Amino acid sequence: MSRPEVTDTPELVAAIGNGQRYAIAAALNLLDDRRKKSRQSAARLLANLQNDPQHSRGQLIGITGPPGAGKSTLSAALIRVWRQRDHRVAVLAVDPSSPISGGALLGDRLRIQTSADDDDVFVRSLSNRGQFGGLSAEVWPMSIVMLAAFDIVLIETVGVGQREVDIARLCDTTCYVAQPGSGDSVQFLKAGILEVPHVLVVNKEDMGAVAVRTRSELESALNRTHPDGDWQVPVLSTSAATDKGIDALADVLEKHYQQLVSGGRLSARRRGYQSYWLHKRLQEEFGNAGIERLGGEKALLVKLQAQDMNLYEEYETLRQLL
């Protein structure tokens, strides 16, 4: 028996809201689909999801950092803590793809091992699909679907250059994982190459002195007040291998979210980030000339942020226009 393909948008929206795994999977497949007809259905689906605030209560967390910093094991440890706290968790794991064949090994799933009988954890891997530097275009829409069904949505990616910037301008809370013993993170921060994260983590505390040194270097390199304003950036030590410091990290991530919500800034922020994302996609697809035809970057961003419009529908409309 195979379940009939869900084409009816309201039904799919309802099933996603109920956390039906087959529906979430189907929606993610749809958002991945570049055929014209699918894009139209996808736009309808996202418009429906966005119109209902019920469907965007979750927290969108980005976790990034250099290769080898232990992001995946840290994510796995966080998921365990979140599950103990009865949060439902979805993960979008972004892996690089081969520029030659377009093929990719989606390996993060292996490192984020979860129990097979836990209905409240859902992992989708995504290859970077040749997006030069940045995150692939599907990340934003997929995160919207996941936010509709889960309490926490975690986007995990190797953060270097544009990808790290992208993730910082997409998530409610960004967590940067530094590699002990490597001065890179400190240099990036000082040089302003790194967007300032909301939380800095030195994982692999079990490495001892070298981890302690990296932590103190980060503490001194960092202006602790986040550009967002009233947020002091904490520097935490964790060890995913021995489960140390994970609870404290989960606490801090939650605290940041509560502050956004209680300050009433969450939806404005998301809107700002989503406008940025949308602008970037249009620029990638149609170049600066395209953006000029829409009245230029500034006007476009103002328009997108000010008006009460559905961004994804608008995105598709603008694409058609161009």
Partner 1 sequence: MSQDTVKRDRPWMMRTYSGHSSARASNELYKTNLSRGQTGLSVAFDLPTQTGYDSDHPLARGEVGKVGVPINHIGDMEILFDTIPLGQMNTSMTINATAPWLLALYVAVAERQGVDPTQLQGTTQNDVLKEYLSRGTYIFPPGPSVRLTTDLITYTVQNIPAWNPTNICSYHLQEAGATPTQELAYALSTATAILDAVQASGQIPAERFPDVVGRISFFVNAGIRFVEETCKLRAFGRMWEALTGERYGVTNPKQRLFRYGVQVNSLGLTESQPENNVQRIVLEMLSVTLSKNARARAIQLPAWNEALGLPRPWDQQWALRMQQVLALETDLLEYGDLLDGSPVVEAKVQELIEGANAEMARVEAHGGMVACIDNGYVKRELVQSHTRRMRNIESGKLQIVGVNCFQESAESPLTAGDESGIMKVDERAERDQIASLQAFRAARDQAKVDDALLQLRNAANDGNNIMPPSIECARAGVTTGEWSEVLRQVFGEYRAPTGIDISPINHGGSDALDKVRARVHQTGEELGRPLRLLIGKPGLDGHSNGAEQIAVKGRDVGFEIVYEGIRLTPAQIARAAQEEGVHLIGLSVLSGSHLELVDDIAHELEKIGASSIPLVIGGIIPEEDARCLRNKGLKAVFTPKDVDMNAIMDTMVTIIREANGLEPLA
Give me the residues that bind partner 1 (CB under 8 A), please. Answer: 1-3, 21-22, 25, 28-29, 32-35, 38, 97-98, 100-107, 109-110, 113, 116-117, 122-125, 127, 129
Closest distance to partner 1 from the beta carbon of 281 (Å): 17
Select 129 or 190, whichever has its Cβ closest to partner 1: 129
Which residue shows structure tokens 């926490």? 152
Question: Which residues, 6+ apart, have CB-to-CB distance to 321 below 8 Å?
Answer: 294
Nearer to partner 1, 38 or 283 (CB): 38
Name the one residue in this structure whose structure tokens are 């994804």.
Answer: 312
Quote the least distance from Cβ 96 to partner 1, whole Å.
10
DSSP-assigned beta bridge partners for residue 92: 124, 155
Q: What is the CA radius of gyration of the chain?
A: 19
The Cα-based distances of 128 to 64, 92, 218, 243 in angstroms read: 14, 12, 29, 30
Contacts of 69 (CB under 8 A, 6+ apart): 177, 178, 179, 203, 204
Residue 184 vs 206, nearer CB to partner 1: 206
The minimum distance between CB 34 and partner 1, in angstroms, equals 5
Q: Closest separation between CB of residue 90 and partner 1, Å? A: 9
Q: Which residues contact 271 (CB under 8 A, 6 or more apart)?
A: 304, 305, 311
Of the pair 129, 281, the CB lying nearest partner 1 is at: 129
Q: Give the whole-angstrom CA distance, residue 67 versus residue 198.
A: 20
Rounded CA-CA distance 105/242 in Å is 28
Cβ-based nearer residue to partner 1, 32 or 254:
32
Closest CA to 112 of 103, 122, 104: 122
Q: In the bound complex, what is the minimum distance in angstroms from residue 312's beta carbon to partner 1?
A: 17
| Cβ proximity to partner 1, 53 vs 103, nearer residue | 103
Residues 6 or more apart whose CB falls under 8 angstroms from that of 6 comprise 12, 15, 23, 26
**Looking at beta carbons only, is 104 or 248 nearer to partner 1?**
104
How far is Cα 61 from Cα 77, in angstroms, rounded to an integer?
A: 15
- Least distance in Å: CB of 62 to partner 1? 20
Give the Cα separation of 217 and 99 in Å (integer): 36
Instruction: Look up residue 12 and give its two tokens.
Output: 């799919």
Residue 123 contacts residue 109 (beta carbons within 8 Å): yes
For partner 1, the closer of residues 58 and 70 by Cβ is 70
Nearer to partner 1 by C-beta: 117 or 230?
117
Neighbour tally for 51: CB within 10 Å: 13
